[in-house]
């Protein structure tokens, strides 16, 4: 890579981080303020933000929301918009932070210090969730995982490695890292809901190299779906489908495919945003140029549908 290319790459990463922060701040104004805390794990001081609505009943569920690469807790809670829903529906949300804004999600991404130094992010998130459950009297049998991009892939790693502790997962614009495929094939079956855009230029829908082959590899969506269905025991021929198209003139529509026959306790749902890019469905912010992230979509509200899915399950 030339010096000019390197400079452009660095500038783009900075631009995306700032853009996401601004997008998150706009959405977060609808929620209540949260407080940042520190947590010691594996000789590292880690940081997280925790949102517990006033008057939350004992035994409430816990949602773990993981930021994307280059993000942090503040950006995640703003961009995802879970806090107002948590207050309405009665659950707590924790937003852990990765070391230098990234997660060791199983891709072996050498550009992320967490992966390069093999930090125990899975152990950190697990230990943190256990402490919060005990300290705040939350329900250990209703602990859910979600996140976008790097955070989505981290949620995949956790649900595949520790299905004994987590109830369900919702990876958004992420995927199964190639190096995690065998682990996911042997997972404890848990419900999974996936949201992906067919025109995502950063985490390709058809699989392969992430961020122009620079940040590890993911399975294609077809391969990923096969892993989820087979490991859960779903009948792949017994799926149902429906379509959502809020704006028939924007060239984007969303297809929902669901499988539950043979896997009633661990169903699989895939939302494919046809024409959609590297964005959180329902947050229509074009936080970066189309050439870098593709287009946003408002056909479905990922925040609401993820929680509606999670609220059906307990371990």
pLDDT tens, position by position, 276-309: 999 999 998 898 999 999 999 999 999 999 999 9
pLDDT tens, position by position, 84-105: 999 999 999 999 999 999 999 9
pLDDT tens, position by position, 224-241: 999 999 999 999 999 999
DSSP type of residue 274? E
Domain count, the chain: 1
In a domain, 315, yes or no: no
Q: What pLDDT sits at residue 5?
A: 43
Q: In terms of C-beta distances under 8 Å and separation of at least 24 residues, what long-range contacts does 121-127 make, across chains too?
A: 121/154, 122/157, 122/158, 122/161, 122/162, 123/41, 123/42, 124/39, 124/41, 124/42, 124/44, 124/46, 124/96, 125/64, 125/66, 125/96, 125/154, 125/158, 126/158, 126/162, 126/165, 127/39, 127/41
Q: What pLDDT sits at residue 285?
A: 87
In a domain, 108, yes or no: yes
Instruction: Residue 256: give the domain boundaries.
Output: 3-310
In a domain, 177, yes or no: yes
pLDDT tens, position by position, 177-199: 999 999 999 999 999 999 999 99
In a domain, 46, yes or no: yes
Q: What pLDDT sits at residue 234?
A: 98
What's the CATH number where 23 sits?
3.40.50.1820
């Amino acid at each position: 890579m030339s010096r000019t290319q390197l400079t452009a790459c660095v500038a783009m990463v900075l631009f995306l981080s700032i853009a996401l922060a601004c997008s998150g701040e706009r959405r977060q104004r609808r929620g209540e303020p949260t407080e940042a805390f520190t947590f010691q794990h594996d000789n590292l001081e880690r940081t997280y933000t925790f949102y517990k609505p006033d008057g939350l009943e004992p035994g409430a569920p816990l949602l773990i929301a993981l930021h994307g690469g280059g993000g942090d807790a503040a950006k995640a809670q703003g961009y995802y918009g879970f806090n107002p829903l948590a207050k309405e529906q009665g659950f707590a949300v924790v937003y852990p932070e990765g070391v230098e804004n990234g997660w060791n999600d199983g891709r072996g991404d050498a550009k992320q210090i967490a992966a390069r130094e093999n930090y125990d992010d899975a152990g950190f998130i697990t230990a943190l969730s256990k402490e919060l459950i005990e300290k705040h009297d939350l329900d250990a049998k209703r602990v859910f995982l979600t996140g976008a991009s790097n955070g989505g892939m981290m949620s995949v790693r956790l649900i595949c490695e520790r299905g004994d502790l987590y109830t369900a997962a919702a990876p958004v614009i992420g995927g199964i890292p190639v190096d995690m495929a065998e682990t996911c094939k042997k997972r404890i079956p848990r419900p999974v809901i996936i949201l992906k855009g067919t025109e995502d230029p950063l985490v390709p829908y058809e699989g392969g190299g992430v961020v122009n082959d620079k940040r590890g590899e993911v399975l294609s969506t077809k391969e990923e779906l096969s892993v989820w269905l087979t490991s859960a025991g779903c009948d792949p021929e017994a799926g149902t489908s429906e379509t959502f198209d809020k704006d028939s003139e924007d060239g984007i529509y969303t297809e929902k495919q669901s499988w539950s026959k043979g896997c009633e306790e661990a169903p699989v749902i895939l939302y494919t945003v046809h024409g959609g890019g590297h964005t959180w469905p329902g947050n229509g912010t074009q936080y970066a140029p189309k050439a870098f992230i593709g287009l946003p979509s408002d056909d479905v509200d990922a925040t609401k549908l993820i929680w509606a899915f999670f609220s059906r399950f307990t371990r």
